[in-house]
């Protein structure tokens, strides 16, 4: 019997802008994983934010890539949908709503151009309900999808021998390098948000006029 | 109808209108409209930021020590430079001095960003405005090899190497994955490079993509992580322990040596690949002299890269500070960011309200009250604008002015000021570049001049990395490992009310954050970012901003392929994520170009 193969290099990547309501979904999923689980050295967790070209190298490193993101599938808000393999770039490119400098579709294309596309890819996407609430947090329906998103990633990775060690106590927000800064951790981010009276958000409605009329 | 602007431009909106929306390969959302005359020359230009900005909406009431972490998330490009500017603003407000080592490390972080951003901009966001990828696939690799060896000692230059790259890109394109090459106007007559030069540039596009990952490792070491490195009010958050051996925590000798080696390789890559490519490409476009705009008339830099800590004088800034107006290069004005009469933002052409819109407001007194209205000559509907009315409000970007003047900011502004001040490390490379290309001094004030200044600055910044790393190592060797001053960390040590300003020279230009702190919390926070300056709409006097001025009088080869428009806009390295906030879903992959 031969020795078991080394576990595949796995990247769990959250992308999106956490300052823009449901756009923060991917980063919040990674934050949740970082607080509740530990992995061996073959697994990397990354809060990719809205980075573009910076992420190409991380993607090239991975053999298995799981991307968490808010994706406009045209489904009901809060719907979780998984997309695998070659179909992934299509969903990351169409009707791009985020500010990702280089659309993530392009990050994958650049990795492919360099001959280093991960062997297997999974996109765990949620249909956002609200993107325009600058400084806002996840809407309840989208927040409820964090744990199902984690479960979906675990199921998909299970046949590949990726081990998740659950922590008895969740770690402190901001204590780990791959988490957003403590002030941006979900709890503080929400609690310390200025009120409508304090910081006029009325612009959003007017800005949104075009969206609503569409 | 022809209108003369106070800053010396003629605008004629009678010709065919071309709408480009969104402008691609930039950060953020932007729209551009131009009028072409019968010879396809741009006679009127209108630049619209299609998103609404509002940092104050997220920061009011928060702890000023955390502000940097929020500003770092505004966009995916300038992360660290916003964070640096934010901690400087808070330190200014609270009177906090930082240790000399913290100044060195911050400069290394900022210079790293400059080098990285300029390199990625040149190859991945701008080169394809000059380089025809499809033509590169027809090149003879032996010709490319000859060209490469004639311009640089860079070792990767054999015919076989270029043939391999060519085959790799061919396979990629043939597989239908156009990816980054999807939105090109391949075959447009405005492309002037011969096939072998196109292949050289395309090859270095890939090499730069691979190499850039090395540069950002500097952020990972001194910032603790990347993306989103850590910053600290009072210094830098990395402790130094030269004897440390563990991977966790303090920066040890092994990490310091790693950085030193990355700096050496960065200098090599910039000087042997980026700068020679820039000169080679520019040599084929010497006749394309358009796009100068405000650069020969009015430029502004706040200065950055302080040699010593806690000294805000202009003399202490290695990237020069100053303002030039009315094309008077013999008179360089100092810039005071606190003076209410110097920097002011106007909104009479922007979608905001002021009580009196004939006047501008200094950022400490800034008001951000949105007001989305369209002028009577708008075509289309509020939700689907076919043609904007630039006589009324037409952008989500405010119009900042310095003593009433529209200013260009960015590498060309900095280098023009450095040149005008007669500083040898700016003057000599510019003179050499112009001599090598056989161009007169005025050629600098163009789209290509802007692109060239960025390349020269990348080299300057790479060498300055060496300077500050050596300075840091010398301080450590002398026993100084202090990196933070926490004496005034606790809010109980702060005055009840304080206001401060922090500045930096971001890769794309002058960046300022103004903060007002009351009872330990942020009361007001305003950022005037580089693209607010360059992309500004008109002001009450009718002055046009840098983007609009730069587009004027440029001939367009094909009206339905806005290659020349993109070329000039990209030369500013626009970043609208922080200058504006989102307006619509936008982001359709393909740019909509309408000719009317």
Residues B314, B301: Cα–Cα separation, whole Å: 11
- Does A213 sit within 8 Å of B73, measured CB to CB? no
Nearest chain A alpha carbon to B207: A114
Q: Which residue has the higher pLDDT, B319 or A87?
A: B319
Two structure tokens written together for A67: 């991307």
pTM of the model: 0.92
DSSP B270: I
- Does B383 sit within 8 Å of A193, measured CB to CB? no
Nearest chain B alpha carbon to A112: B172
Q: Phi first, then psi: what are they for B243, rounded to 5°?
A: -90, -5
B365 to A201, B339, B340, B343, B526: CA distances (angstroms): 19, 12, 9, 11, 9
Average pLDDT, chain A: 82
Give the pLDDT confidence of B42-81 residue by residue, as tens digits.
Answer: 999 998 876 655 676 789 899 999 999 999 887 666 778 9
Task: Find the CB nearest A99 among B75, B180, B370.
Answer: B75
Query: B379 - beta bridge partners?
Result: B387
Please report the pLDDT score of residue B172 as a whole number: 87
Please report the pLDDT score of residue A209 as a whole number: 38
Average pLDDT over residues B498-510: 96
Q: In chain B, which residues have their Cβ closer than 8 Å to the Cβ of A93?
A: 589
Please report the pLDDT score of residue B293 as a whole number: 97
Non-local CB neighbours of B320 within 8 Å, separated by 6+ positions? B301, B303, B314, B414, B417, B418, B421, B423, B426
Element (H, E) at B19: strand B16-21
Residue with tokens 């609009």: B548
Average pLDDT over residues A81-94: 80
Q: Is the pLDDT of residue B248 over 50?
A: yes
Average pLDDT, chain B: 90
Within 10 angstroms of residue B376's Cβ, the number of other Cβ atoms is 7
Give the pLDDT confidence of A181-194 residue by residue, as tens digits.
Answer: 888 888 888 888 87
SS3 label, residue B397 = coil
- Does B589 sit within 8 Å of A94, measured CB to CB? yes
Q: Give which of A11, A114, A12 is closest to A53, Cα–Cα.
A: A114
**Residue B238 in marked binding region:** no
Please report the pLDDT score of residue A87 as a whole number: 86
Please report the pLDDT score of residue B595 as a whole number: 53
Q: Is the pLDDT of residue A7 over 50?
A: yes
Average pLDDT over residues B422-428: 98
Q: Which residue has the higher pLDDT, A92 or B565?
A: B565
Q: Is the pLDDT of residue B526 over 80?
A: yes
Residue B258 C-alpha, separation from nearest chain A C-alpha, in angstroms: 18
State the pLDDT confidence band at A199, using cuts at 50, 70 and 90.
Answer: low
Please report the pLDDT score of residue B431 as a whole number: 98
Q: Is the pLDDT of residue B380 over 50?
A: yes
State the distance between the two ends of chain A, measured CA to CA, in whole angstroms.
62
Flag whether the ipTM exceeds 0.85.
yes
Within 10 angstroms of residue A97's Cβ, the number of other Cβ atoms is 21
Residues A35, A26: Cα–Cα separation, whole Å: 15
Residue A174 C-alpha, separation from nearest chain B C-alpha, in angstroms: 11
Residues B343, B446: Cα–Cα separation, whole Å: 26
Give the pLDDT confidence of B209-238 residue by residue, as tens digits.
Answer: 999 999 999 999 999 888 888 999 999 998
Residue B28 C-alpha, separation from nearest chain A C-alpha, in angstroms: 6
State the pLDDT confidence band at A172, using cuts at 50, 70 and 90.
Answer: confident
Give the pLDDT confidence of B479-490 residue by residue, as tens digits.
Answer: 999 999 999 999
- Does B56 sit within 8 Å of A213, measured CB to CB? no
DSSP B164: H
Give the pLDDT confidence of B330-346 residue by residue, as tens digits.
Answer: 999 999 999 999 999 99
Q: Is the pLDDT of residue A211 over 60?
A: no
- Does A207 sit within 8 Å of B60, measured CB to CB? no
State the pLDDT confidence band at B372, using cuts at 50, 70 and 90.
Answer: confident
State the pLDDT confidence band at B562, using cuts at 50, 70 and 90.
Answer: confident
How many CA atoms does the CB half-sphere of B327 hold within 13 Å? 9
DSSP B473: H
Two structure tokens written together for B441: 């001094």
Please report the pLDDT score of residue B246 as a whole number: 52
Give the pLDDT confidence of B169-204 residue by residue, as tens digits.
Answer: 998 888 776 667 766 788 999 999 999 999 999 999
Please report the pLDDT score of residue A205 as a whole number: 34
State the pLDDT confidence band at B574, using cuts at 50, 70 and 90.
Answer: confident
State the pLDDT confidence band at A52, using cuts at 50, 70 and 90.
Answer: confident
Q: Is the pLDDT of residue A93 over 70?
A: no
Element (H, E) at B425: helix B424-437
Please report the pLDDT score of residue B32 as a whole number: 87
Task: Find the CB nearest A101 among B77, B209, B228.
Answer: B77
B543, B443 contact by CB (below 8 A): no
Task: Find the CB nearest B57 among A18, A49, A199.
Answer: A199
Residues A8, A62: Cα–Cα separation, whole Å: 8
Please report the pLDDT score of residue A49 as a whole number: 86
Residues B526, B511: Cα–Cα separation, whole Å: 11
A153, A105 contact by CB (below 8 A): no
B321 to B292, B305, B314, B448, B457: CA distances (angstroms): 21, 10, 6, 23, 15
Residues B498, B516: Cα–Cα separation, whole Å: 6
Cα diameter, chain B:
73
- Does B585 sit within 8 Å of A110, measured CB to CB? no
Q: Phi first, then psi: what are they for B554, rounded to 5°?
A: -90, 125
Least confident interval from B120-129, B143-152, B209-218, B366-375: B366-375
The CATH architecture one would assign to domain B97-291+446-486 is: Orthogonal Bundle (1.10)
Please report the pLDDT score of residue B225 as a whole number: 82
Superfamily of structural domain A10-213: HybD-like (3.40.50.1450)
Two structure tokens written together for B198: 């196109």
**Percent of all residues in chain B with a pLDDT value above 70, rounded to a whole number:** 91
Q: Give which of B57, B54, B365 is closest to A197, Cα–Cα.
A: B57
């Amino acid at each position: 019997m031969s020795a078991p193969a080394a576990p595949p290099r796995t990247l769990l990547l959250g992308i999106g802008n956490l300052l823009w309501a449901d756009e923060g979904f991917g980063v919040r999923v990674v934050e949740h994983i970082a607080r509740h689980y530990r992995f061996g050295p073959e697994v990397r967790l990354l809060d990719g934010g809205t980075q573009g070209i910076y992420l190409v190298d991380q993607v090239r490193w991975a053999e298995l890539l799981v991307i968490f993101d808010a994706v406009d599938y045209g489904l009901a808000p809060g719907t979780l949908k998984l997309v695998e393999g070659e179909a992934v770039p299509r969903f990351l490119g169409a009707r791009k709503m985020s500010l990702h400098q280089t659309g993530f579709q392009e990050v994958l294309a650049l990795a492919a151009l360099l001959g280093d596309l991960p062997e297997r890819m999974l996109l765990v996407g949620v249909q956002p309900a609200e993107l325009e609430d600058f400084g806002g947090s996840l809407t309840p329906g989208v927040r409820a999808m964090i744990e199902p998103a984690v479960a979906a990633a675990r199921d998909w990775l299970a046949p590949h021998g990726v081990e998740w060690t659950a922590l008895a106590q969740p770690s402190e927000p901001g204590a780990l390098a791959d988490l957003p800064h403590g002030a941006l951790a979900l709890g503080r981010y929400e609690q310390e948000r200025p009120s409508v009276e304090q910081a006029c958000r009325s612009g959003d409605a007017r800005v949104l006029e075009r969206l609503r009329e569409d | 109808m022809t209108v003369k602007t106070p800053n010396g431009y003629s605008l004629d909106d009678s010709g065919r209108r071309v709408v480009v929306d969104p402008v691609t390969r930039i950060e953020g959302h932007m729209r551009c409209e131009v009028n072409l005359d019968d010879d396809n020359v741009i006679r009127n230009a209108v630049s619209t930021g299609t998103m609404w900005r509002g940092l104050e909406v997220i920061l009011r009431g928060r702890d000023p020590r955390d502000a940097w972490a929020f500003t770092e998330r505004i966009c995916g490009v300038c992360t660290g430079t916003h964070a640096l500017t934010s901690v400087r603003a808070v330190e200014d407000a609270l009177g906090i001095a930082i240790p000399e080592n913290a100044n060195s490390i911050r400069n290394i972080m900022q210079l790293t960003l400059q080098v990285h951003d300029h390199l990625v901009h040149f190859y991945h966001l701008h080169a394809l405005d000059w380089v025809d990828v499809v033509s590169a696939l027809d090149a003879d690799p032996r010709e490319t090899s000859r060209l490469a060896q004639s311009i640089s000692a860079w070792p990767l230059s054999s015919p076989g190497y270029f043939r391999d790259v060519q085959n790799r890109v061919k396979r990629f394109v043939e597989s239908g994955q156009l990816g980054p090459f999807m939105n090109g106007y391949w075959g447009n007559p405005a492309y002037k490079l011969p096939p072998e030069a196109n292949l050289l540039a395309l090859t270095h596009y890939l090499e730069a993509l691979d190499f850039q990952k090395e540069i950002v490792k500097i952020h990972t070491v001194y910032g603790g992580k990347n993306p989103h490195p850590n910053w600290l009010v009072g210094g830098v958050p990395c402790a130094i322990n030269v004897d440390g051996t563990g991977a966790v925590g303090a920066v040890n000798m092994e990490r310091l040596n790693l950085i030193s080696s990355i700096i050496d390789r960065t200098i090599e890559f910039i000087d042997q690949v980026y700068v020679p490519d820039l000169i080679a490409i520019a040599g084929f476009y010497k006749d394309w002299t358009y796009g100068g705009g405000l650069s020969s008339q009015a430029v502004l830099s706040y200065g950055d890269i302080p040699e010593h800590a806690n000294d805000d004088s202009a003399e202490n800034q290695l990237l020069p500070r100053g303002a030039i107006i009315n094309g008077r290069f013999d008179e360089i004005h100092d810039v005071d960011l606190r003076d209410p009469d110097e920097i002011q933002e106007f909104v009479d052409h922007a979608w905001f309200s002021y009580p009196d819109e004939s006047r501008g407001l200094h950022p400490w007194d800034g008001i951000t009250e949105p007001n989305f209205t369209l002028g009577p000559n708008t075509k289309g509907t509020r939700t689907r604008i076919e043609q904007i009315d630039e006589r009324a409000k037409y952008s989500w970007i405010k119009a900042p002015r310095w003593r009433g003047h529209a200013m260009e900011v960015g590498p060309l502004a900095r280098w023009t000021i450095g040149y005008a001040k007669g500083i040898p490390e700016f003057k000599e490379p510019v003179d050499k570049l112009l001599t090598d290309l056989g161009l007169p001094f005025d050629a600098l004030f163009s789209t290509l001049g802007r692109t060239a200044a960025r390349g020269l600055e990348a080299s300057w910044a790479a060498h300055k990395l060496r300077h500050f790393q050596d300075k840091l190592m010398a301080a450590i060797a002398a026993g100084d490992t202090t990196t933070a001053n926490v004496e005034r960390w606790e809010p109980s040590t702060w005055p009840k009310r304080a206001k401060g300003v922090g500045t930096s020279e971001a890769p794309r230009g002058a960046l300022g954050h103004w903060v007002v702190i009351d009872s330990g919390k942020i009361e007001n926070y305003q950022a005037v970012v580089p693209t607010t300056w360059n992309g500004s709409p008109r002001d009450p006097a009718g002055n046009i901003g840098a983007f609009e001025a730069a587009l004027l009088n440029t001939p367009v080869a094909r009206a339905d392929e806005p290659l020349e428009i993109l070329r000039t806009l990209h030369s500013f390295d626009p970043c609208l994520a922080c200058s504006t906030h989102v307006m619509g879903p936008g982001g359709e992959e393909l740019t909509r170009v309408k000719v009317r």
